[in-house]
């Protein structure tokens, strides 16, 4: 063969590599867009209190409604094996578009019960976005899967924090935050549905077998992964839900630049941004040093910060902001590695089902701490409210270090555990 003729094998490798990068970019970008509706009501909480007469407790319930809707959607998908029986990109597309359309209803609806219902159903559709997105990328990556899912979770973090950015930019037009996040979600759904294809490692779903899900409790490696994940979730969404209110209490309501850019909302978005970077970096570290070490280390840092950040006097606002950025990085850095570990420890034919089931259980737990934080803040202040969150990372880190000692852990991160 002429030396100038390209090698066919090399061409195939280059083509597959380009397709993987394209899928990673599109799914990650779409996740930024699609998850923007998640905390849209938290970002505009002051406006909802003024315009619709909602209380802090009502805002907590609006967030819990999304979480429980997500759980309902995730469990429904897991029980029906839907994420493995139909193309995950199609499920993702429909769900993201529907979530964006429903989110707009927060604007005209004034009745609290009706808004709760809207947020619950929005959460149900989000259950068809995040777990199927992880399954899509799992079909494209074997080596480097932790890095890929880390990039996706980083995108989820940016998407979840984007309402704070929109709120900061459009502080006087709270409706713009809702409309903007809805448009982004619809665009994200269209991107995955029309532009992303199935990966070469995607596995056709097996027949419906709900008993397989019980392995999450009976298989010791999967059980320890679940415990680690639950410890992580105990802290994560409560921190995300209330970090904006905490920073508002620290720095007050004032603009950063001119009259348009609200400081507290901008800082809250920066906390999410730090988490997005940390998610990708943690993926690189996990592939090199192992998932158990990285997850335990991240929970050690985030849990330690949760213990004392709320006790720091608000006069030390610069220190609080700097520590909040570190907390924002550590609190989400480990998230993708739990999902990656579950894909490595599960039968590939049930990968989507197990991811969805684990995620659903984790999000059910978040409702507890999201509601507890404002109750404890009212009774004792931010110090005890955030310190309570450290319970989860302590248990989760212990579970992951235990998992690392098991022979089954060899399946993770190419044997790096």
Q: At a CB cut-off of 8 Å and minimum separation 6, what does 272 contact?
A: 157, 158, 160, 161, 162, 164, 240, 328
Question: With the C-alpha atoms ordered 168, 371, 133, 273, is the resulting torsion angle positive or negative?
Answer: positive
Query: Which CATH architecture does the domain made up of 21-195+206-412 adopt?
Result: Up-down Bundle (1.20)
- CA dist., res. 199 & res. 339, Å (int): 18
Axis-axis angle for helices 291-308, 317-333 (nearest 10): 150
Geometric angle at alpha carbon 134, from 132 and 138, rounded to 5° = 115
pLDDT at 1: 46
Q: What is the pTM (predicted TM-score) of this model? A: 0.77
Tokens of 5: 């003729």
Mean pLDDT, contiguous 10-residue spans, the chain (417 residues):
52 65 87 82 79 84 88 80 76 93 91 93 89 80 75 80 72 80 92 84 59 72 90 94 91 69 84 90 84 91 97 95 96 87 76 75 89 94 97 95 82 60
Report the candidate in 118, 119, 115, 102 with the shortest Cα–Cα distance to residue 39.
119
Domain ranges across the chain: 21-195+206-412
pLDDT at 213: 66
pLDDT at 44: 80
pLDDT at 187: 93
């Amino acid at each position: 063969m002429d030396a100038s003729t390209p090698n066919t094998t090399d061409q195939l490798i280059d083509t597959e590599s380009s397709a993987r990068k394209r899928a990673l970019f599109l799914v990650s970008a779409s996740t930024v867009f699609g998850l923007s509706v998640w905390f849209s009501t938290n970002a505009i909480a002051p406006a909802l209190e003024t315009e619709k007469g909602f209380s802090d407790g009502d805002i907590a319930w609006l967030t819990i409604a999304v979480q429980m809707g997500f759980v309902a959607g995730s469990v429904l998908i897991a029980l029906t094996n839907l994420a493995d029986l139909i193309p995950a990109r199609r499920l993702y597309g429909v769900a993201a578009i529907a979530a964006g359309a429903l989110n707009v209803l927060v604007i005209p609806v004034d009745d609290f019960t009706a808004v709760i219902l809207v947020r619950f159903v929005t959460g149900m559709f989000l259950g068809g976005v995040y777990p199927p997105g992880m399954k899509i990328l799992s079909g494209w990556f074997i080596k480097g899967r932790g890095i890929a899912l880390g990039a996706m979770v980083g995108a989820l973090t940016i998407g979840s924090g984007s309402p704070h950015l929109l709120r900061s930019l459009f502080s006087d037009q709270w409706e713009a935050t809702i409309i903007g996040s809805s448009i982004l979600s619809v665009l994200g759904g269209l991107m995955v549905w029309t532009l992303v294809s199935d990966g070469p490692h995607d596995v056709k779903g097996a027949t419906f077998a709900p008993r397989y899900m019980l392995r999450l409790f009976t298989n010791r490696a999967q059980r320890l992964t679940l415990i680690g994940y639950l410890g992580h979730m105990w802290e994560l969404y409560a921190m995300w839900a209330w970090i904006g209110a905490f920073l508002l209490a620290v720095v007050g309501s004032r603009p950063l630049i001119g009259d348009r850019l609200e400081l507290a909302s901008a800082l809250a978005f920066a906390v999410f941004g730090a988490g997005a970077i940390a998610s990708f970096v943690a993926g690189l570290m996990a592939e090199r040093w192992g998932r158990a070490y990285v997850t335990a280390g991240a929970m050690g840092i985030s849990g330690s910060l949760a213990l004392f950040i709320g006790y720091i006097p608000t006069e030390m606002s610069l220190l609080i902001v700097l520590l909040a950025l570190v907390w924002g990085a550590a609190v989400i850095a480990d998230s993708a590695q739990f999902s990656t570990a579950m894909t490595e420890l599960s039968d590939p034919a049930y990968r989507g089902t197990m991811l969805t089931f684990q995620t659903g259980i984790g999000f059910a737990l978040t409702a507890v701490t999201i509601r507890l934080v404002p109750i404890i803040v009212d009774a004792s202040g931010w110090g005890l409210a955030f310190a309570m969150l450290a319970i989860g990372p302590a248990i989760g880190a212990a579970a992951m270090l235990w998992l690392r000692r098991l022979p089954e852990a060899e399946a993770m991160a190419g044997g790096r555990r």
